[in-house]
Amino acid sequence: MSVTLQAEPFEPGAVLTAFTAGRTETGAVASFTGIARAEAGAATALELEAYPGFTDIEITRIGAAAAARWSLQDWLVVHRVGQIAPGEPVVFVATASRHRREAFEACDHLMDYLKSRAPFWKKEHGPDGARWIEPTDRDRTDAQRWET
Amino acid sequence: MARVLLFGRLADAAGWRERTVEADSLSALRAALTASDAQLGEALAGPGVQAAVDKTILRGDAPLTAASEVAFLPPMSGG
């Protein structure tokens, strides 16, 4: 159960290997890696701002709720902040449970939350300058799937 | 007195991210910020902008002390 916000790039494979190690009662680990897109040259960098002490606490609260809902044994979120170049991982989520369905669904749910409602402010830098990005309609409807 | 933090487009609009402002309540703080920069005051009252005092989002007014941290948060975009 951990949330890491970091400015430095990370290697998703190494994070997944460490998360998976030593689990003798975990039947399933699901993971997701989100990568910054170049948008065919339209995006030269992504800039993410977080509010330390607020953003991480909020993600921890959502993670704990997901862990209770899907009976997770463990979960982990790594999220970049600051300037992110196209091709670099932005976000990594891993979930561990006894069976695969819970791990898949909790991972999907956490990503929908992180993409639509988590306290980040996102700016896209391109050849024509920079613009702040608001959540898309698709992000909102994806997040609403979990409201039952 | 309070430490004021601006995030996202609010910081860009104001030209600063962090500043100490003399105010003993959130409403007095909003008035002081508006008095020094009317455009910022308008942006702070805009749709979807939330205020957090000591990292808790509040609606309405709240007393502030010298140790208070007030953050103005534009709509959150997700990562």
Q: Which residue has the higher pLDDT, A111 or A133?
A: A111
Phi, psi of A68 (to 5 degrees): -70, -45
Label residue A141 by pLDDT band (50, 70, 90): confident
Asked if pLDDT for residue B74 goes beyond 70, the answer is: yes
Q: What is the pLDDT of residues B12-68, one digit of tens each?
A: 999 999 999 999 999 999 999 999 999 999 999 988 899 999 999 998 899 999 999
ipTM (interface pTM): 0.92
CATH code of the domain containing B27: 3.10.20.30
On whether residue B69 sits in a domain, the answer given is: yes
Q: Out of A51, A57, A135, name the one closest to residue B78 (CB).
A: A135
Q: Out of B7, B52, B75, name the one closest to residue A49 (CB).
A: B7
Tell me, what's the pLDDT at A148?
A: 61
On whether residue B78 sits in a domain, the answer given is: no
Q: Give how far Cα A49 sits from Cα of A45, A52, A68, B38, B60, Å.
A: 13, 9, 29, 25, 26
Q: Give how far Cα A15 sits from Cα of A25, A114, A129, B2, Å.
A: 19, 18, 34, 39
Considering only CB atoms, which chain B residues are within 8 Å of A78?
none
On whether residue B6 sits in a domain, the answer given is: yes
d(CA B79, CA B57) in angstroms, rounded, equals 20
Residue type, B70: V
Q: Which residue has the higher pLDDT, B78 or A82?
A: A82
Asked if pLDDT for residue A50 goes beyond 90, the answer is: yes
Structural domains in chain A, sorted by start: 2-19+27-140 (3.90.1170.40)
Beta carbons of A42 and A126 less than 8 angstroms apart: yes
Asked if pLDDT for residue A134 goes beyond 80, the answer is: no
Domain count of chain B? 1
Least confident residue range of A64-68, A121-125, A143-147, B21-25: A143-147
Label residue A36 by pLDDT band (50, 70, 90): very high
H-run or E-run covering A63? helix A55-69
Chain B: give the shortest CA distance to residue A97, in Å.
25
Half-sphere exposure in the Cβ direction for B40 (13 Å, CA): 24
Considering only CB atoms, which chain A residues are within 8 Å of B12?
132
Domain that holds residue B42: 2-73
Contact call for A79 and B74, based on CB within 8 A? no
On whether residue B47 sits in a domain, the answer given is: yes
Tally of helices (H runs) and strands (E runs) in chain A: 4, 8
Q: Out of A51, A57, A120, name the one closest to residue B77 (CB).
A: A120
Residue type, A40: A
Beta carbons of A142 and A115 less than 8 angstroms apart: yes
d(CA B45, CA B13) in angstroms, rounded, equals 13
Tell me, what's the pLDDT at A43?
A: 84
On whether residue B79 sits in a domain, the answer given is: no
Asked if pLDDT for residue A145 goes beyond 90, the answer is: no
Asked if pLDDT for residue A49 goes beyond 70, the answer is: yes
On whether residue B58 sits in a domain, the answer given is: yes
Least confident residue range of A35-39, A70-74, A76-80: A35-39
d(CA A27, CA A120) in angstroms, rounded, equals 33
Closest CA to A5 of A35, A49, A66: A49
A74, two tokens: 């463990």
Q: What is the mean pLDDT of residues A15-43?
A: 94
B8 touches chain A (CB under 8 A): yes
Tell me, what's the pLDDT at B5?
A: 98
Least confident residue range of A4-18, A46-60, A116-130: A116-130
Tell me, what's the pLDDT at A135?
A: 67
d(CA A132, CA A123) in angstroms, rounded, equals 4
Q: Out of A53, A114, A132, name the one closest to residue B79 (CB).
A: A114
Chain B: give the shortest CA distance to residue A107, in Å.
15
Considering only CB atoms, which chain A residues are within 8 Å of B72?
none
B54, two tokens: 């000591």
